Structure 1
Amino acid sequence: MASAAPSAWKRWIRPEVYPLFAAVGTVVGICGYQLIRNITGNPEVRVTKENRAAGILENHSEGEKYKEHKLRRFVRNKSPEVMPSLNKFFSDPKIPN
C-alpha cells in the first residue's frame, strides 16, 4: 500500500489540476465566510442558551445593519453586467451610413 500514495500524488497534483483546486478552494472559502458571518452576525441566529431563551426580538435596526453590508452598498449602483463594454458593443445596432 505504500506505493499507492506516490502514484495518487502524481496523478492529482499536476499543473492541469491547479485551476480546479483554486476554484474549489475559493468556493470553500466563500462558504466558510458565509457560515461564520451568519453564526456571528445574523440577528436571527442565537448560539448561546441565554439568547435562545429571549424568544423573538423586534430588533429591526440590527437586522437592517446585517442586511446592508459593505458589498451590497458597493454594488448597489453598479451595472449588473460582467462586461458592460462588450455587451454594449454587441447589443447596440450599427446605423449604416
Structure 2
Amino acid sequence: MAGYRWIRPEVYPLFAAIGTVVGICAMQLVRNICTNPEVRVNKANRKAGVLENYSEGEGYAEHRFRKFVRTRPPQVMPSVNKFFSEPDL
C-alpha cells in the first residue's frame, strides 16, 4: 500500500469547483463588510444608528458588474439559443 494515493486525479475538478465557490463567497463577504452602507464594523459608525443616505446605498447596489450585465442580452449562450430556436429558411 505504499503507492496508494490519498487524492485521486478524478477529484481535481471537484476541488476546483468548490474552491471557486468558496472564493466567490469570500469575495462577497469582504465586499459586504467593507462597502455595504448598512454594515458598521467600528464603534464610531455604530453609534450613528440608521442613516438616510440614499446616494451611498444606490452606489453600493449599482456596482460596475451590474451596469455591465444590464447592457448584455439575458442569455447565457445567445448564439446556441439562436441556432436551436430559429428555423432555417
Taking structure 1 as the reference length, what is the TM-score of the superposition?
Answer: 0.82
- CA offsets 1:36-73 (integer angstroms, 9 cap, x no match): 00000000011112211101101111111111111111
For 1:52, the equivalent position in structure 2 comes to 46
1-structure distance, mates of 2:49, 2:8 = 53
Q: Find the partner of 1:87 among 55, 63, 81.
A: 81
More helix, by proportion: 1
For 2:25, the equivalent position in structure 1 comes to 31
User: When the two structures are aligned, how many residues end up with a matched partner?
Assistant: 88
Which segments of 5 or more consecutive residues in structure 1 lack a partner in the other structure? Answer: none
Runs (4+) of structure 1 exceeding 3 A deviation are none
In terms of mean alpha carbon deviation, does 74-83 or 21-30 score higher? 74-83
Describe the SS at the equivalent of 1:18: helix
- CA radius of gyration, larger in: 1
- Larger RCO: Structure 1 or Structure 2 (Cα < 8 Å, ≥ 6 residues apart)? 2
In terms of mean alpha carbon deviation, does 72-81 or 19-28 score higher? 72-81
